[in-house]
A and B are shown apart, each in its own frame.
Chain A
Amino acid sequence: MRRVERLVSRILLAGGGVAVACMLVGVVALEIRATRTAHPLDIAHVVENREAGRAVDVFVSLPQLAHALQRQPPDPVAVITSGVVVLLATPGIALIAAVVGFVAARDRRYAVIGAALVVGLVCGFFLDLGG
């Protein structure tokens, strides 16, 4: 296996692992909070609430999320959401790592292709592309 493949594979695996760890920690913390305060996050409420507008317990920006994580103890839903954010960011980080890997391997052609993709994906982010 070439260096770049190994690097990208490790980043994808690490990103998935960190995301899963955050989500599991958050779910356990949520369960503990639910048993202590009798205030569980009700899935039925979430499912039904979407039609009426955004659920109140969803984080929609990184500053909002960071603020909730800084609280003592951190908000369990914010901990789960941090796992979601890590997962969403992982392919982008892997792509940037691939570009770095190609530069290090002096594969200029694929370093340029990778960098062009990074630019394209950033543009796509602002244009709201489909998956």
Chain B
Amino acid sequence: MVLGAAAGAGVLGAILGLGGGILLVPVLTLFFGVSLPYAMGASILSVIATSCGAAAGHLTSGLANIRLGLFLALFTVSGALTGATLVGVVPARALQVLFGLALGYSAFTTIRQLHVEVPETLAADPLAQRFALEGVYHDHVLGRDVAYHAVRVRAGAAVMFGAGVLSGLLGIGSGAFKVLAMDTFMRLPMKVSTATSNFMIGLTAAASAGVYFGRGDIHPVIATPVALGVLVGSYGGTRLIGRMRNTTVRKLFLPIVLYLAVSMLLRGLGVLH
């Protein structure tokens, strides 16, 4: 059963650019009675397994853009380092409210562009040209090559940095922010955004994975079915996304953004703990 849940999390993670922790932690704690530290340990392993399985497939298909991923990961990691050093200095609740509102705005934008298959061609950002934040992938659904380039790179980088700060302050994942920064702000195709996010989440999770291991939070008996299921599921997910429209991926992503926006706002306002 854990294997099946993990495989499901892997499939969704590969399609939506998330680590799967958002699904796995509640499943492991509520349905299998696993204590939270072990569930969190399994979650960090799931993020890395999703990233390995999905990014390997996405890089082969051309959906994941390694340059874009590394460029943006630089801002996420520096934001996370800043956030980790600001613990206790910056009011985390205020930041949660701020990001909850930002996510709400992103959800609204996502709804507005729910039927946009490929973003209209906008003038390339000089920074995007300088850092080669562009690419081409073959879209099997559209039956043609889709060329893209990033716009509003500074805004996207700022969101990445902010997501990193939040991640460092609160110890949460930021896969959804990564996807939104690329999709909403940088106007990249949704599938490119989720695939590149899959590559990035593994890098940031790897930084904290050693700590979870050292604390003894990654138990092999729980980790094995999770890793196996997620790896297989995420690799399968990369096959599925190739047959999906960008609009379908966006529709699947919308409930996650809405859930995150509401839960972050409620936490920030002290309603949820």
Contacts and interface: CB of A to CB of B under 8 A. Distances in A.
A20 B227 contact: yes
A94 B221 CA distance: 26
Interface residues of B, number: 71
A125 B53 CA distance: 23
Contacts of A120: 74, 77-78, 81, 207
Contacts of A26: 220, 224
Contacts of A15: 52
A72 to B, nearest CB: 20
Given A47-B38, A87-B52, A127-B81, 13 more contacts: A6-B60, A20-B231, A23-B223, A43-B221, A58-B219, A58-B220, A80-B223, A87-B227, A88-B210, A117-B70, A129-B84, A129-B167, A131-B172
A70 B235 CA distance: 33
B19 A131 contact: yes
Nearest to B166: A130
A120 B78 CA distance: 7
Interface in A90-116: 90-92, 94-95, 98, 109-110, 113-114, 116
B204 A47 contact: no
Interface of A: 1, 4-6, 8-10, 12-13, 15-16, 19-20, 23-24, 26-27, 41, 43, 46-47, 50-51, 54-55, 57-61, 77, 80-81, 83-85, 87-92, 94-95, 98, 109-110, 113-114, 116-117, 120-125, 127-131
A23 B227 CA distance: 9
A121 B205 CA distance: 9
A47 B34 CA distance: 5
A131 B49 contact: no
A12 B69 CA distance: 15
A47 B211 contact: no
A128 B56 contact: no
